[in-house]
Structure 1
Amino acid sequence: MSATPSATADAPRSGTLQRAFADAAEEFGVPESVLLGVSYLESRWDGHRGAPSVTGGYGPMHLTDARTAIAEAPHHSHGEEDARGDATRPARTVDVKLPEPSELPARLRTLDRAAALTGLPAAELRRDERANIRGGAALLADAQRRLGLPKSDDPAQWYAAVAGYSGADDARSAAVFADDVFGVIREGERRTTGSGQRVVLEADPGVAPRTGQLPALGLREAPRDERVECPRSVACEWVPAPYQELGDGDYGNHDKGNRPESQRIDYIVIHDTEATWDTTLKLVQDPTYVSWHYSLRSSDGHIAQHLPAKDVGWHAGNWYVNAKSVGLEHEGFLATPDAWYTEAMYRTSARLVRYLARRYDIPLDRQHIIGHDNVPGTTGGSIRGMHTDPGPYWDWAHYFRLIGAPFHATAGPDGGLVTIRPDYRTHQPVYTGCEDPQTACAPHGSGAVRLHTGPSEDAPLVKDIGLRPDGGASTPGVNDTGARASTGQQFAVAGREGEWTAIWYLGQKAWFHDPAGRRTAVPARGPVVTPKPGLSEVPVYGRAYPESTAYPAGVPVQSISPLPYKLLAGQRYALGLRTPGEYLWATTFDPAGHRVVRGEETYYQIQFGHRVAFVKASDVTVRPSGR
């Protein structure tokens, strides 16, 4: 990616960002609460040191310049996984061609308009937060003028201008964005940004926006399709993925199903698209490509649904997980130098997850709401090709607060488990590989802690023999998950020494820095698994397939191949869920030929490393974590 923030990117001195909003509001005649509300929905007032968002937005006002910012990388830039993840079918991989700059829509080029309105250079609008805020205020004022509406001091009079700022091309999406902005204005917000700026938006509970202004934008009306499965509080359209025969027994790009009657939906998998919105929609409508259930747009949180939840998408790279999950793709790029995701997208995604969790009885925890980077390889040979999105810059703590299930301590110091929870804003481990393997990424908040072989920053990182069978060392690479624990994940405590805590991780002790006053984890308790007495080790699996005797005639027996890890005697791992061995046999275009095979063997899902894994219940004992 070429859009590295300048080393001298201007950041306001302490206390000046609030003043910048006030000054820009006065200069352009925009109510300060409107300017603050729009900025909060776009960036939570963060300038990100002049670096672009995942879709090319810069600064607190998310002025877009995708021509400068879009990474030259294919879909899911790391990994070569077969998205279908079923060895009984031909591999289905992905390849993406990014659009030319001239093909980018106007919503990805708002910085140019701000430059024309303010006379400020584009480079200054990208890197200087005060200039960026002026640019956003100018856009709002210009929209109000073009709509023929007065530059009123009353925030309620700015509803249409706020809705238009989203860049949405349909009225419903624009209204959802504006409603969220005015929700923030009513409730108020206060936050310390990544640059240490304290910004406050005082609550205005009486504001009643003039929603009747919306038709003045002239946006298309998109009637809600009866096929969409979305909460009413979001904008959601139906963009179906194709289901058609391709010849030679192949078909695309998903499988018909009857979930949850046929199989439980246990997981919601969070992805990023590694492509722009328009490219994403083209891809999911290609029968030779792969599929997922929902796509979410960065600029305004708009949702497109492609598959009914009852059907099986090809998105996770693990057929067992595909068969039991719903996939959510978020417009964005993992390895931008300073990757960040918009508040608007976080909010609509959280509403969608909450809706799906209620509908399908999915617990709201990190054993069930997982990233693509938490999905295990199916066999030892597939581990290195598994994808790493949404990556270390996804703010799981904020996301779960929006979902309504925040991470907090659930035990005292002797609970036996910890929930990883660093402070996202101030926790800024150094990653490499955003541009090239040796160069450090720009400093940025992260929800992941780094794991060492001993209680010291100088100790080597723990090794992942699945990623590096030759015994090679883990790295601080942005795509290297070998020595990383992520916010919300729970691990069994293996020791404490000074400011360091050890957890059991990939069959070894792994230490992370956890100083008093700046904790990176909170205590928890819950069930853990450990090898049964008399067993020195037990195998670990990437899928929970049934025993061979469970398969009926006509359905080939699937091998139960252990991963190259061992759960050793004396070690403990947090128990996520209990599941019967299952395999969905789906290799025919006619779903009448599909079968769900269930066995007698029961599996436990555990938090084994950065990715989840499975062990056979017959191999382990379950006990409380504090004993």
Structure 2
Amino acid sequence: MRMRAPTLVVAAAVLTALGISQADARQRDAGTESTRQQVFTQAAGTYRVPQKLLLAVSYLESRWDANRGLPSTSAGFGPMHLTDGTLSRGVEHLAGGKEDPRGDLSRSPLLPKGAVSTPKAAKAGPDTLHQAARLTGATADALRSDPAANIRGGAALLAQYQRDLHKPFSADPSSWYAAVARYGGGNWFAGQVFDVLRTGASRTTDDGQRVTLAATPGIRSTGAADNDEQTECPPGLGCEWVPAPYQQLKPDDPTSYGNHDLADRPKSQKIDYIVVHDTETPYPNALDLVKTPTYLAWNYTIRSGDGHVAQHLKAKDVGWHAGNWDVNSKSIGVEHEGYLAQGGAWYTEAMYRSSAALVRYLAGRFGVPLDRAHILGHDNVPGVDPAHVQGMHEDPGPYWDWAHYFTLLNRPLRASAGARSGEVMILPDYGTNVVPYTGCDAAAPSAPCPPHGGGSIMLRTEPRDDAPLVKDIGKHPSDGAATMSVYDHSARASTGQKYAVADRQGEWTAIWYLGQKAWFHNPESRRLAVGVRGVVATPKPGLESVPIYGRAYPEAEAYPSDVPVQQLAPMQYTFAAGQAYAVTGARYGEYFYSKTYDTASQRVVRGKLKYYEIQFGHRVYFVKASDVVLKPVR
């Protein structure tokens, strides 16, 4: 939550003749609530907050989950996301020192880690958890770990904000709009709360509690979140303009500039992708970095606590964010405040919703398909050549909830063919799909991560649970051996990705993955993948193997004399006869040449060489259309 700390006044009027702390104590002494639904009912009655409103605010913060008492990426706890402002959050550089975020082999590698002094750890922000402790008499530990105490604390805060605003304690949720905006950090949050009130919601929480909010279709809200005039955002999202600098860094060197390239998209090039990142640093640090000329820039940053959006680059300009120049030049980069390896940390519903609203808008404006081959994670972007595979980034990682995200994008992921189809889409149940990753604790990298649901599945060399993981000779050049590290996606397939089926044995399914059969347990009672219709590519008859590429660049003949030819470098993987890979797109080769601060020398080279995008492993890759034949599967 993002708000100013309120004046804490405990008044008898909050509950007839009772102070807030006294009321909370009497409720706690009355007995233990048996269900989460009852807790909301009792807390709403205690603090005279409309029950539906309390449910809707909590849904937008946490979807009613307890999250095992662990903090969100913005140090919020419990169903009401009470933030502990005494906590500090560690930082990591976005670039990590290995990946060249620009990914343009025609220029020197961009490794900005040394160019920016390491930001200091940031405080979590507003301290609503300790405010709630003072209001209710509950301990800070109870508010962190006990969902019932947490819900009462959130209700007490809402009641206090309503009093501070001199608003009536009405049963009509509409009269609480300003208090909700204060609780969540602004008008956009409040508007989303009222959207939830209109549609209703029902789900089973991460600790097995069934909670339902009945729809109130006719409810109205007041107020709107205005976008800054310079931003490109859907109406009402409340986007802020925080521009990234375009500067020449050395007066005598026109090739030394930062931290992005000016362009004229989509007139100059079609925008094909939106890339989802996490920041690996607190939101204020991310904004400091994107404003640094010697660093790198992306298009948007979204704050975890309340879903606030800052835009840094116009969509027409090219950010240096994905580690692959071909993808950079045809994508929009969206950073989300968060940390890949903090398995116990969680994103708020507010962040997911604001991100989905933004991506829906951008996809509609630029014609980007709403599927997992075009809404990519940074971890799905291919390396530009064999030497750059190992250093590519892994965010947002296995804890990003792609299934929920696509539901919010109004493109829910579902089966489109029978269970025996020749193509499958990975679709585990996020909440129950608990994979035993390691590496969440930097001080003990071999220790297990906290148990947590996730959107990825592990792939094995044989149809048995104790079989070795499949190999990735790009990520692990020495022996290909994959690990269970949360940072290692070598043997993982992610929600929404589509693969050609290679084999089936009993309850096990094999897919073609990085040139090999990759097995996963897929019983009817707990499906990890569903059948889909699609198209697969296989090598043309007579070819033993075909090359795959990390960039879809033009043929040499297409380059004008003043633009250096970009060599097509086949990857180290094998796409052999007899194998098949899901085709996820088609395009002709293009290359955006931009090397100097003065944009007069820019060129977009367009060729006649046609490529198909395929789901080859965890990342997408490209094959020449002339090397393969396509086959529909149902």
Same-fold status (TM-score > 0.5): yes
Matched residue SS, 1:19: helix
Distance 1:353 1:374 in 2: 17
- Over 3 Å counting, the alpha-carbon distance change for 1:66 and 1:75 in structure 2 is farther
The equivalent residue for 1:62 is: 81
Matched residue SS, 1:357: helix
The equivalent residue for 1:19 is: 38
Letter in 1 for 2:98: E
* 1:153 shift after superposition: 2.6
Letter in 2 for 1:561: A
Letter in 2 for 1:185: L
2:142 to 96, 101, 124: 124
- Answer with 22-31 or 454-463: which moved more: 22-31
Letter in 2 for 1:274: E
1:52 to 55, 71, 75: 71
Distance 2:535 2:32 in 1: 48
The equivalent residue for 2:198 is: 186
1:158 to 171, 176, 199: 176
Letter in 2 for 1:526: G
* 1:283 shift after superposition: 1.2
- Over 3 Å counting, the alpha-carbon distance change for 1:384 and 1:480 in structure 2 is same
Q: Percentage identity across aligned positions?
A: 58
- Answer with 519-528 or 554-563: which moved more: 554-563
1:146 to 164, 170, 188: 164
Output aligned runs, 1:357-372, within 5 Å.
357-372=363-378
Distance 1:76 1:197 in 2: 37
The equivalent residue for 2:307 is: 301
The equivalent residue for 1:84 is: 102
2:437 to 431, 434, 437: 431
Matched residue SS, 1:206: coil
* 1:240 shift after superposition: 1.1
- Over 3 Å counting, the alpha-carbon distance change for 1:77 and 1:46 in structure 2 is farther
Letter in 2 for 1:201: L
C-alpha distance after superposition, 1:242-262 (max 9, x if no partner):
111001331111101111111
* 1:124 shift after superposition: 2.0
Matched residue SS, 2:87: helix
* 1:501 shift after superposition: 0.8
Letter in 2 for 1:296: I
- Answer with 350-359 or 318-327: which moved more: 350-359
The equivalent residue for 1:491 is: 499
Matched residue SS, 2:525: coil
C-alpha distance after superposition, 1:113-165 (max 9, x if no partner):
22222232222211221121122112111111211122233222211111101
Output aligned runs, 1:7-406, within 5 Å.
16-65=35-84, 67-68=86-87, 70=89, 72-76=90-94, 80-95=98-113, 97-101=118-122, 105-106=125-126, 109-166=127-184, 168=185, 174-209=186-221, 211=222, 224-247=227-250, 248=253, 249-406=255-412
- Is the CA contact 2:97–2:111 (under 8 Å) kept in the aligned structure 1? no
- Is the CA contact 2:91–2:121 (under 8 Å) kept in the aligned structure 1? no
Matched residue SS, 2:631: strand
Letter in 1 for 2:572: P
1:612 to 602, 610, 620: 620
C-alpha distance after superposition, 1:264-321 (max 9, x if no partner):
1110001111122211111111111101111112122221111111110000000010
Letter in 2 for 1:312: V
The equivalent residue for 2:561 is: 553
- Over 3 Å counting, the alpha-carbon distance change for 1:223 and 1:47 in structure 2 is closer
Matched residue SS, 1:504: strand
- Is the CA contact 1:52–1:69 (under 8 Å) kept in the aligned structure 2? no
Distance 2:263 2:95 in 1: 29
Letter in 1 for 2:601: G
* 1:461 shift after superposition: 0.7
Are positions 1:539 and 2:547 aligned together? Answer: yes
What number of residue pairs does the alignment pair up?
Answer: 596
Distance 2:630 2:78 in 1: 49
C-alpha distance after superposition, 1:403-426 (max 9, x if no partner):
111111111234310011111111
The equivalent residue for 2:601 is: 593
Matched residue SS, 2:512: strand
* 1:195 shift after superposition: 0.8
* 1:18 shift after superposition: 1.3
Matched residue SS, 1:418: strand
Distance 1:321 1:14 in 2: 52
- Is the CA contact 2:95–2:101 (under 8 Å) kept in the aligned structure 1? no
| TM-score of the aligned structures, taking structure 1 as reference length | 0.92
Distance 1:477 1:337 in 2: 12
Distance 2:562 2:95 in 1: 38
Output aligned runs, 1:413-562, within 5 Å.
413-435=419-441, 436-562=444-570
The equivalent residue for 2:4 is: none
Distance 1:528 1:13 in 2: 56
Matched residue SS, 1:495: strand
Distance 1:495 1:195 in 2: 36
Distance 2:605 2:188 in 1: 43
2:578 to 570, 573, 580: 570
Distance 1:147 1:494 in 2: 63
Gaps of at least 5 residues in structure 2 are 1-30
- Is the CA contact 1:60–1:133 (under 8 Å) kept in the aligned structure 2? yes
Distance 2:51 2:407 in 1: 26
Distance 2:532 2:157 in 1: 47
Distance 2:99 2:457 in 1: 25
- Is the CA contact 2:471–2:491 (under 8 Å) kept in the aligned structure 1? yes
* 1:78 shift after superposition: 6.0
Matched residue SS, 1:23: helix
Matched residue SS, 1:384: coil
Distance 2:142 2:88 in 1: 15
* 1:339 shift after superposition: 2.9
The equivalent residue for 1:219 is: none
Distance 2:283 2:537 in 1: 42
Matched residue SS, 1:423: coil
Distance 2:275 2:85 in 1: 27
Distance 1:341 1:526 in 2: 32
Letter in 2 for 1:154: D
Gaps of at least 5 residues in structure 1 are 1-11, 169-173, 215-221
- Is the CA contact 2:385–2:569 (under 8 Å) kept in the aligned structure 1? yes
- Over 3 Å counting, the alpha-carbon distance change for 1:498 and 1:203 in structure 2 is same
* 1:560 shift after superposition: 1.2
Matched residue SS, 1:385: coil
* 1:15 shift after superposition: 5.1
- Over 3 Å counting, the alpha-carbon distance change for 1:198 and 1:566 in structure 2 is same
- Is the CA contact 2:97–2:112 (under 8 Å) kept in the aligned structure 1? no
